[in-house]
């Protein structure tokens, strides 16, 4: 009778998941990532054939593996990008704990695959590099701790995060993996700075990092050899840096032509750490600038969307993920043009590597999830303040 008089209250109609995801996602960043992966496959067709030939495999063996891992990585990216910030936080904390345990096991059961650094775990015929998955998890945990420290009577999140960063860097240095160590320190510094740290404190921590590098130079032959090679005024043309520098010079503005490059036959890591040298030689400066622009789109658009974010955790975690993604690309390309010492770091979504592709998908998936537009939440906060 009541319903006949007053009418029944209409049930709330929720928008389906996929349309809501498509409406709120940053489509420019999403498209840029897919284009980067497409460029990676294109370069892999040239860069990985010599390696397959040396190993007695089918010419496109590594390209096929790259396509499989890339599809897995992109699937992870799309799936994670549909999650809420709260679930992203839980996923990051659990993932960080699992990756940290694997990193701690590396000195006991890890392998170096002839690279001079124990960075890989063999799991059923598949090599996993735990440090790749440690980075996004560390960003999430650090952002969670520093955001919690901003609450009244909150925990000492800044101090805890500093201790955690030191602990993680210590285990990465044991491999040794100074490139990933630098990224972890950089990620912590970005989140700490965005969270309200003074520039004086950041500069002081930078000084401590420089001191740690000086100590590592004297204690690690592997680290010292790379620094000496970087500081030397003359580049041995028979080294990887020499081959890469020559390839970039030969490529010029338009490149020598598709499939005509020679550096892929000389560089053992042409399909991974020095993939940008293959791009510069065969396609020239045009493709290199295009790759730079695509990474810039992801980083800049993400940071712009985070500027209007009110939730401290989302703002801190998103800033850390965006900066780590961009700086890893800068390090990879900086090494190829000899602006930075060799670090053994891949170019996200472009270089070959299963761990790299899946971890990059996880990183950008978290970033896309945190930068999705949430207009209803913002309106609710606005009306809540007015009340």
Looking at per-residue pLDDT, the higher value among 383 and 325 belongs to 325
Which contacts of 253-260 are long-range, i.e. CB under 8 A and separated by 24 or more positions? Answer: 253/284, 253/285, 253/286, 254/283, 254/284, 254/285, 254/286, 255/280, 255/281, 255/282, 255/283, 255/284, 255/286, 255/287, 256/281, 256/282, 257/282, 258/46, 258/282, 258/283, 259/46
Provide the mean pLDDT of the chain. Answer: 84
Least confident of 82-91, 176-185, 259-268, 370-379: 370-379
Three-class DSSP category at 25: coil
Q: Once rounded to an integer, what is the mean pLDDT over residues 52-67? A: 88
Q: Show the 3-state SS of 150-176.
A: CCCCCCCHHHHHHHHHHHHHHHHHCCC
Residues with Cβ within 8 Å of 119's Cβ and at least 6 positions away in sequence, in order, are: 106, 110, 112, 129, 131, 175, 177
Three-class DSSP category at 125: coil
Q: pLDDT tens-digit profile of 25-38?
A: 999 999 999 999 99
Distance CA 347, CA 47 (A): 14
Residue 385 tokens, joined: 């303040």
CA angle 72–36–131, rounded 5-degree value: 55
Give the pLDDT confidence score for residue 41 in this predicted structure: 93
109 pLDDT band, cuts 50/70/90, is: confident
Give the pLDDT confidence score for residue 345 in this predicted structure: 84
pLDDT at residue 120 is higher than 90: no
- For residue 235, the Cα-to-chain-centroid distance in whole angstroms is 29
Query: H/E element holding 126?
Result: strand 126-128
Q: Once rounded to an integer, what is the mean pLDDT over residues 244-256? A: 84
Give the pLDDT confidence score for residue 238 in this predicted structure: 62
337 pLDDT band, cuts 50/70/90, is: confident
Give the pLDDT confidence score for residue 13 in this predicted structure: 57
Give the pLDDT confidence score for residue 291 in this predicted structure: 96
Q: What is the pTM of this model?
A: 0.87
Residues with Cβ within 8 Å of 33's Cβ and at least 6 positions away in sequence, in order, are: 74, 77, 294, 298, 349, 364
Rounded CA Rg of the chain: 23
Residues with Cβ within 8 Å of 300's Cβ and at least 6 positions away in sequence, in order, are: none
Contact 230, 245 (CB under 8 A): no
Nearest to 71, CA basis, from 379, 349, 384: 349
DSSP output for 315-361? HHHHHHHHHHHHHHHHHHHHHHTTSS-------TTTS--HHHHHHHH
């Amino acid at each position: 009778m009541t319903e006949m008089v007053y009418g029944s209250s209409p049930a709330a109609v929720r928008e389906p998941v996929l349309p809501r995801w498509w409406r709120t996602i940053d489509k420019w960043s999403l498209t840029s990532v897919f284009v980067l992966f497409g460029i990676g496959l294109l370069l892999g067709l040239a860069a990985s054939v010599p390696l397959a030939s040396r190993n007695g495999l089918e010419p496109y063996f590594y390209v096929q593996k790259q396509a499989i891992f890339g599809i897995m990585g992109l699937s992870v990216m799309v799936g994670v990008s549909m999650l809420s910030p709260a679930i992203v936080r839980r996923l990051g904390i659990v993932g960080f704990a699992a990756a940290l345990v694997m990193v701690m096991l590396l000195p006991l059961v890890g392998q170096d695959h002839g690279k001079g650094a124990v960075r890989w775990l063999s799991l059923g015929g598949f090599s996993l590099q735990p440090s790749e998955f440690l980075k996004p998890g560390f960003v999430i945990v650090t952002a969670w701790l520093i955001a919690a420290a901003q609450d009244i009577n909150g925990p000492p999140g800044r101090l805890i995060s500093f201790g955690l960063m030191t602990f993680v860097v210590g285990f990465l240095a044991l491999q040794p993996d100074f490139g990933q160590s630098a990224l972890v320190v950089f990620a912590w510094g970005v989140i700490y700075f965005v969270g309200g740290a003074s520039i004086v404190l950041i500069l002081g921590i930078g000084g401590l990092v420089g001191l740690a590098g000086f100590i590592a130079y004297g204690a690690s032959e592997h680290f010292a050899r790379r620094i000496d090679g970087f500081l030397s005024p003359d580049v041995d043309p028979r080294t990887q840096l020499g081959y890469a520098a020559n390839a970039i010079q030969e490529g010029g503005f338009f490149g020598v032509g598709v499939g005509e490059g020679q550096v892929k036959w000389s560089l053992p890591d042409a399909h991974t750490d020095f993939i940008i040298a293959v791009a510069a030689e065969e396609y020239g400066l045009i493709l290199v600038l295009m790759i730079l622009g695509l990474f810039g789109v992801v980083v800049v658009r993400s940071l712009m969307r985070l500027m209007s974010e009110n939730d401290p955790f989302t703002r801190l975690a998103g800033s850390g993920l965006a900066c780590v993604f961009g700086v890893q690309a800068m390090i990879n390309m900086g090494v190829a043009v000899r602006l930075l010492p060799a670090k053994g770091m891949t170019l996200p979504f472009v270089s070959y590597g299963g761990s790299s592709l899946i971890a990059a998908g996880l990183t950008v998936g978290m970033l896309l999830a945190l930068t999705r537009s949430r207009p209803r939440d913002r309106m609710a906060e606005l009306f809540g303040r007015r009340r």
